[in-house]
A and B are shown apart, each in its own frame.
Chain A
Amino acid sequence: MANADGSVEGKDAPRAGSRRLNRIMISTMALGVLVAATMVRADDAAPKEVVDELHAALISAMKVDGDAAAGYQTRYKIVEPVIDKRFDIPLISRLVLGAEWAKLSEAQRTSFGAIMARYMTANYASKFNSYSGQQFTHKSDAAQGDRAMIVRAEFKSGSGKTRQFDYQIRKGDSGWKIVNVAVDGISDLSLKRAEFGDVLKKNGFDGLITQLEKRIGEMAEGKE
């Protein structure tokens, strides 16, 4: 077997081979630790980084060529992984359904979480559909108890009008995740609770799912 210097030795060969194996194992372990450390760092993204990642995706989506309908799929694919990774979809699902959540089976909860993620992604992909110099600027971070944080950002439109974006971010087992966003003080989660609650009251859970699917379809066709 070859040593590091390229020589081959008869009696010492097994020992040399063992040393090399050790080196390979150590290298592999070191690489594993490095990869794990990188993954941990990714999951441990600070609240500001979580929001920045979303904003970067939204700006990229806005820069996609094509009108509301033509660029939709591309924008959807840009935004989708960020929504999945950076939003606490199970918690959002539960909060928007309120008391109805208790009545759902596990399967219904899972399917609702999936459709919720698609609905949120579709909303971002259809609304952030053109770029004319818009930008997000981080303004402040404020702790809200031990496990929640509010990250405030300013959105400047192409015409210079500004809007205040407040993200409510919560720390769970898989790091900081966005639970809610309020634009100029209007909480998206509250709006959804109100809307969904009204639909549930009139049409039940299945009716809500049908309406969500319909709306997702409309957005995909370019109806913002």
Chain B
Amino acid sequence: MSQTTGRWRQRVCVLPLLTIAVALVGGCNATPYAEQNISDPLEPINRAMFDFNLALDTHVIQPVTKVYKDITPDPIEQGIHNFFTNAAYPHVIANDILQLNLDQTLSDTGRFVVNSTVGIGGLFDPATDIGLKLNEQNFGVTAAKWGLPEGPYLVLPLLGPQTLSSLPDIPLRIVTNPIIFLDPFMFRLALNATGAVSSAADRESARKQIKEALSPYAFLRSAYYQHQRRLYLGNKADVEVTPFEPLPLDDVEPPPSDTAPAPQPTPKPDEPAPAK
């Protein structure tokens, strides 16, 4: 246990180095995760990875999650989902701290404590009922809050969409999960496998949407950037965040005056091209 933890702690030390490297390469980013600024220089490789993930999902993950959903009663499925969401919650708290967000750190710590104790190890979610809402964070957002550019878009095998600056999220997610401290190895492995299946089952509806899209690759890339942008702007449901920021609505306003009758839309040569 301690050896594994130590190893991961060493690896997590590369986080600052990697993010500094990203900062040096890319400079500061004024509009993090804005769709207009999507950088996908590795698109051919990313598309190959995306196709691999899609095939893996269709032939392996989907059949497994189907069996899991069929044999697991809904309340138990919900309990399992709650348990793994709670076990992964220190990762959210770690990002709150890294973002120097004191309010959110306290709220998320409170949520973790309440659900781990009153919620019986996280199987239940009493924290939501008392106003400690589920938060979502990742290191990509943290890096953006530090002013670092997100770097190029990447599609990783199994893990899916990332950006260069969000890569440290992978080790951070592992070292902050209490499951890593459990022994023996096989037990830890079984728990992680169950967690992966539960998480995959939870994303079923999103996967379905991706597969039904006219261009699944472009759909997921856009959805990923928009989601990251939203987390960057404010994740809490009660935060007034307009989700329409990237849309060029102003471009279609008739130029002379607002009071003039709106003409039929006419093409503008400088209209931004769709996100690439």
Closest Cβ of chain A to B136, distance in Å, is 11
Chain A residues, Cβ within 8 Å of B264: 90
Assess whether B244 is in contact with A187, with CB atoms less than 8 Å apart. Answer: yes
Q: Is A18 an interface residue (CB 8 A)?
A: no
CB-CB under 8 A for A190 and B268, given A95-B247, A150-B242: no
Within 8 A of A (CB), among B50-86: none
Interface string of B13-45 (1 = CB under 8 A from A): 000000000000000000000010000000000
Assess whether B247 is in contact with A189, with CB atoms less than 8 Å apart. Answer: yes
Assess whether A94 is in contact with B212, with CB atoms less than 8 Å apart. Answer: no
Which of the residues B219, B244, B253 comes within 8 Å of A195, measured between beta carbons?
A: B219
Count B interface residues, CB 8 Å: 42
Whole-angstrom CA separation of A168 from B248 in the bound complex: 12
Interface string of B214-238 (1 = CB under 8 A from A): 1101110111001101100000010
Name the interface size band of chain A: 35 or more
Assess whether A200 is in contact with B247, with CB atoms less than 8 Å apart. Answer: no
Assess whether A190 is in contact with B35, with CB atoms less than 8 Å apart. Answer: yes
Assess whether B213 is in contact with A195, with CB atoms less than 8 Å apart. Answer: yes
Chain B residues, Cβ within 8 Å of A197: 218, 273-276
Closest Cβ of chain B to A10, distance in Å, is 56
Closest Cβ of chain B to A68, distance in Å, is 12
Q: Is A43 an interface residue (CB 8 A)?
A: no
Whole-angstrom CA separation of A185 from B275 in the bound complex: 17
Q: Interface segment, A32-40, A48-56, A141-149?
A: A141-149
Whole-angstrom CA separation of A31 from B271 in the bound complex: 47
Q: Interface segment, A1-9, A57-65, A172-180?
A: A172-180
Closest Cβ of chain A to B63, distance in Å, is 19
Whole-angstrom CA separation of A105 from B246 in the bound complex: 27
Q: Please indicate which of the listed interface residues B241, B271, B274 has the most CB atoms of chain A within 10 Å of its own CB.
A: B274
Assess whether B244 is in contact with A94, with CB atoms less than 8 Å apart. Answer: no
Closest Cβ of chain B to A176, distance in Å, is 13
Whole-angstrom CA separation of A186 from B210 in the bound complex: 13
Chain A residues, Cβ within 8 Å of B258: 146-147
Chain A residues, Cβ within 8 Å of B215: 194-196, 198-199
Q: Is B240 an interface residue (CB 8 A)?
A: yes
Interface string of A114-158 (1 = CB under 8 A from B): 000000000000000000000000000010101110100000000
Assess whether A99 is in contact with B217, with CB atoms less than 8 Å apart. Answer: no
Closest Cβ of chain B to A53, distance in Å, is 21
Assess whether B269 is in contact with A194, with CB atoms less than 8 Å apart. Answer: no
Assess whether B247 is in contact with A185, with CB atoms less than 8 Å apart. Answer: no
Closest Cβ of chain B to A178, distance in Å, is 12
Interface string of A80-120 (1 = CB under 8 A from B): 00000000001100110111111100000000000000000
Q: Is B190 an interface residue (CB 8 A)?
A: no
Chain A residues, Cβ within 8 Å of B246: 187, 190
Chain B residues, Cβ within 8 Å of A180: 244, 247
Chain A residue, CB-CB nearest to B272: A98
Assess whether B222 is in contact with A190, with CB atoms less than 8 Å apart. Answer: yes
Chain B residues, Cβ within 8 Å of A91: 252, 265
Which of the residues A182, A193, A196, A208 comes within 8 Å of B244, measured between beta carbons?
A: A182
Chain A residues, Cβ within 8 Å of B268: 102
Closest Cβ of chain A to B194, distance in Å, is 21
Sorted nearest first, the 5 A-B pairs with minimum C-beta distance are A197-B274, A102-B267, A194-B222, A185-B230, A198-B218
Q: Can you pick out 9 interface pairs between chain A and chain B where the beta carbons lie within 8 Å of each other?
A: A95-B247, A99-B273, A101-B265, A185-B230, A190-B275, A193-B274, A194-B218, A194-B219, A197-B274
Which residues of B are in contact with A by a Cβ distance under 8 Å?
Answer: 35, 208, 212-215, 217-219, 221-223, 226-227, 229-230, 237, 240-244, 246-249, 252-253, 258, 261-262, 264-265, 267-269, 271-276
Besides A166-B243, A173-B262, A195-B219, 10 other CB < 8 A contacts? A99-B273, A101-B265, A101-B271, A103-B267, A186-B243, A196-B215, A196-B274, A198-B218, A198-B274, A215-B212
